[in-house]
């Protein structure tokens, strides 16, 4: 006797045995490894206090968008920490580099679409508003003209402004879109936004330490936007391929991911 069982087809997907805030730890470890590898590739020698800085900075926002605020922060932090030991030529000031990586991916992860954690961005924005105030206030006390400060901190205040305005949600919607053209736009402008406040997260500390003169401010005016452009292009180039691949293989998304 042959018995046929019919019913609705079901798909079973595993989140993995262990997760952090809904993000499987294996996802976090894979992306932290990517950060570590990119730490070997330098792209800049001028940010903040000077030194050689790694290409991994370009994907810190991406990790927040695909892993969520906590998963992205942990992946960026672990990857940057490993880079300190394995690629010290791009480590900068290690504690500041690690702090910047963690808070940057966390900030990107707060760019949510639904009601879940929709107010988390406010706390992040307040932190960076205070950081920008301290940065500008110190420059004014050092006699730097306000016009030079505005030009020299373009990537900082523009990134913060995009983060505070509804553009934050617009960029997230584009990243979530099925249209890869919109995904690319979301990744580019979202990366410009988060990379700008990434720079701010470090520069308000390094400026306190090194206190560079007005001549350095003027020298960096055309260079800072170029560096942020490179970060944004890297985030877009890698991000489109990562998101397309994740969608194609049908792997389950972390709970806080927006792609």
Above 80 in pLDDT, residue 129?
Answer: yes
Above 80 in pLDDT, residue 83?
Answer: yes
Q: H helices then E strands: how many in the chain?
A: 10, 4
Above 80 in pLDDT, residue 110?
Answer: yes
Above 90 in pLDDT, residue 18?
Answer: no
Cα separation, 101 vs 80, whole angstroms: 7
User: Dmax of the chain from CA atoms?
Assistant: 93
Look up the pTM and report it. 0.88
Give the tens place of pLDDT for each residue, 24-34: 899 999 999 99
Cα separation, 121 vs 258, whole angstroms: 15
Above 90 in pLDDT, residue 90?
Answer: no
Would you state the pLDDT for residue 99? 96
Average pLDDT over residues 56-60: 95
Beta-strand ranges (E) seen in the chain are 19-20, 23-24, 42-44, 53-54
């Amino acid at each position: 006797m042959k018995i046929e069982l019919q019913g609705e087809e079901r798909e079973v997907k595993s989140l993995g045995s262990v997760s952090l805030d809904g993000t499987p730890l294996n996802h976090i470890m894979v992306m932290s490894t990517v950060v570590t590898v990119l730490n070997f590739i330098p792209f800049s020698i001028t940010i903040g206090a000077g030194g050689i800085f790694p290409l991994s900075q370009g994907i810190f926002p991406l990790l927040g968008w695909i892993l969520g605020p906590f998963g992205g922060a942990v992946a960026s932090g672990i990857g940057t920490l490993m880079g300190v030991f394995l690629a010290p030529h791009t480590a900068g000031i290690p504690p500041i580099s690690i702090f910047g990586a963690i808070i940057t991916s966390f900030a990107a992860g707060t760019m949510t679409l639904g009601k879940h954690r929709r107010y988390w961005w406010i706390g992040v924005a307040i932190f960076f508003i205070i950081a920008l105030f301290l940065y500008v206030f110190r420059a004014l006390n050092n006699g730097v003209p306000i016009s030079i400060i505005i030009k020299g901190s373009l990537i900082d205040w523009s990134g913060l402004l995009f983060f505070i305005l509804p553009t934050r949600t617009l960029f997230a919607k584009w990243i979530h879109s099925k249209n890869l053209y919109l995904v690319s736009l979301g990744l580019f402008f979202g990366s410009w936004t988060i990379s700008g406040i990434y720079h701010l997260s470090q520069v308000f500390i390094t400026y306190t330490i090194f206190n560079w003169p007005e001549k350095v401010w003027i020298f960096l005016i055309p260079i800072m936007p170029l560096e942020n452009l490179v970060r944004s292009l890297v985030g877009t180039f890698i991000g489109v391929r990562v998101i397309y691949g994740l969608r194609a293989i049908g792997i389950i998304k972390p709970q806080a991911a927006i792609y």
